[in-house]
Amino acid sequence: MAETQSQGTPTLFSPYKMGKFNLSHRVVLAPMTRCRALNGIPRPALAEYYTQRSTPGGFLITEGTSVSDTAAGFPHVPGIYNEEQVGAWKKIVDAVHAKGSLIFCQLWHVGRASHSVYQPGGAAPISSSNKPISNRWRILMPDATYGIYPKPRALDVSEIEVVVEHYGKAAFNAIRAGFDGVEIHGAHGYLIDQFLKDGINDRIDEYGGSLANRCKFLMQIVRAVAEAIGADRVAIRISPAIDHLGAIDSNPLKLGLAVIEKLNEFQLQFGSKLAYLHVTQPRYHAYGQTEQGKHGNEDEEAYLMRTLKRSYDGTFMCSGGFTRELGMQAVAEGDADLVSYGRLFISNPDLVLRLKVNAPLNRYIRKTFYTQDPVVGYTDYPFLVIQSRL
């Protein structure tokens, strides 16, 4: 059970105690890749973007941030594996803290969702498998065209421990940059999900086959990161029911419950709670993200999310297609402790205020999601103008 909060039915605007962190509300900035970190170095525009979305006692999660030089699969994704990146992030984190928000860094390795253009020496991307992502999906290239995902190279068992170490080092760097914690990106068809899902993972060694084996890579990373920075600063994101980039599992609920069982066990053994578990809701499919154009109905989704929430022993964050009404409902009914908002937060820097006063929302412009302009489609969405009527 998550810690008991203030009296009465909670709303999106009730305070929440997330382990050692005190949040003043439950509207979280979801991690979102925005491709504005030229050559992997966060630049001042990111400070403007994140501070615009900061509120006293609020909580932000950064865009996916590369844990090593093989981790990127989009143009101009920031990294957290060298000193220049740590120094650049520090300025952004300091600016966010000055506005009173907490901020976690999302640790990302895309695995096979990459291309030789993003790899050192033009090498093949790494994965759990040699199977490429199907041609139904396309990769965004540095010149803004879309390419075909190439055949990846399955990691040898001996190489896996090096990748695990990269996560530990990246987490340590994140704390050096001043971040309050990290979120391990285990969702959406990227490297960790490529180990978790039986539609991709075809290994016959100790990392493939049974659910326990498929969870092993994630759990080694969780341990390495927790040992580097303390479990209470570590969060995990999963999306068992989402088939983005071909990440299909034959039994998403069973997979989700297996991960949760491992996380619960880990917390007991480690003697400390993790910061939170972040689960992307299948409703996200409704936005054209699904592999076969089919997805569960609302009742099936609610059952899946509720079962996961009730099984996890800690703070549970939901994401995916939340409106004000759905977020209020999820928190009031105990289906979420925290709700992360993505696209609505892109186009509404003051989303927290707008949701609070139930103000109209700016519409987001999809075509500038992944462009590099430091202002247009990034920090130029308007704030609410509250007219005082005297």
Ligand X SMILES: Cc1cc2nc3c(=O)[nH]c(=O)nc-3n(C[C@H](O)[C@H](O)[C@H](O)COP(=O)(O)O)c2cc1C
Residues tagged active-site: 190
- Residue 154 vs 291, nearer CB to ligand X: 291
Q: In terms of DSSP H, where are the helices of the chain?
A: 44-52, 83-98, 157-176, 191-196, 211-229, 252-270, 298-311, 324-332, 343-347, 351-357
Q: What gap in Å lies between CA 280 and CA 165, rounded to an integer? A: 26
Size of the residue set binding ligand X (CB under 6 A): 22
**N residues, the chain:** 390
Q: Using CB under 6 A as the criterion, what x/- string covers residues 241-280 for binding ligand X?
A: ---------------------------------------x
> Residue 185, interface with ligand X (CB under 6 A)?
yes
Among 13, 137, 270, 369, binds ligand X (CB under 6 A): 369
Q: What long-range pairs does 16-19 form, CB within 8 A, spacing at least 24?
A: 16/315, 16/337, 16/338, 18/59, 18/275, 18/276, 18/315, 18/337, 18/338, 19/232, 19/273, 19/275, 19/315
Within 62-91, which residues bind ligand X (CB under 6 A)?
63-64
Q: Cβ(230)–Cβ(181) under 8 Å?
A: no
Q: Cβ(377)–Cβ(369) under 8 Å?
A: yes
The region of 24-32, 124-132, 141-149, 174-182 touching ligand X under the rule CB under 6 A is 24-32
Within 274-313, which residues bind ligand X (CB under 6 A)?
280, 284
> Residue 131, interface with ligand X (CB under 6 A)?
no
Report, in Å, the least distance between residue 77 CB and ligand X. 8
The region of 43-51, 78-86, 316-324, 354-362 touching ligand X under the rule CB under 6 A is 316-324
Q: Enter the tokens of residue 168.
A: 């530990």
> Residue 99, interface with ligand X (CB under 6 A)?
no
Report, in Å, the least distance between residue 110 CB and ligand X. 10
> Residue 343, interface with ligand X (CB under 6 A)?
yes
Among 2, 10, 25, 33, binds ligand X (CB under 6 A): 33
> Residue 31, interface with ligand X (CB under 6 A)?
yes
Q: Cβ(307)–Cβ(336) under 8 Å?
A: no
Among 2, 23, 28, 32, binds ligand X (CB under 6 A): 32
**Type of residue at 237:** R
- Residue 52 vs 213, nearer CB to ligand X: 52
Kindly state the helix (H) or strand (E) to which residue 278 belongs, with its residue range. Answer: strand 276-280
Report, in Å, the least distance between residue 325 CB and ligand X. 13
Spacing of C-alpha 272 from chain mean position: 22
Within 103-122, which residues bind ligand X (CB under 6 A)?
106
Q: What gap in Å lies between CA 264 and CA 241, rounded to an integer? A: 20
Report, in Å, the least distance between residue 287 CB and ligand X. 7
How far from 232 is each of 104, 151, 279, 296, 320, CA to CA, in Å? 12, 37, 18, 33, 25
Which candidate, 79, 24, 72, places its Cα nearest to that of 46?
79
374 CB-side CA count, 13 A: 9
124 CB-side CA count, 13 A: 14
Report, in Å, the least distance between residue 370 CB and ligand X. 6
> Residue 341, interface with ligand X (CB under 6 A)?
yes
> Residue 327, interface with ligand X (CB under 6 A)?
no
> Residue 320, interface with ligand X (CB under 6 A)?
yes
Among 197, 237, 273, 354, binds ligand X (CB under 6 A): 237
- Chain contacts with ligand X (rule: CB under 6 A): 30-33, 63-64, 106, 185, 187-188, 237, 280, 284, 319-322, 341-344, 369
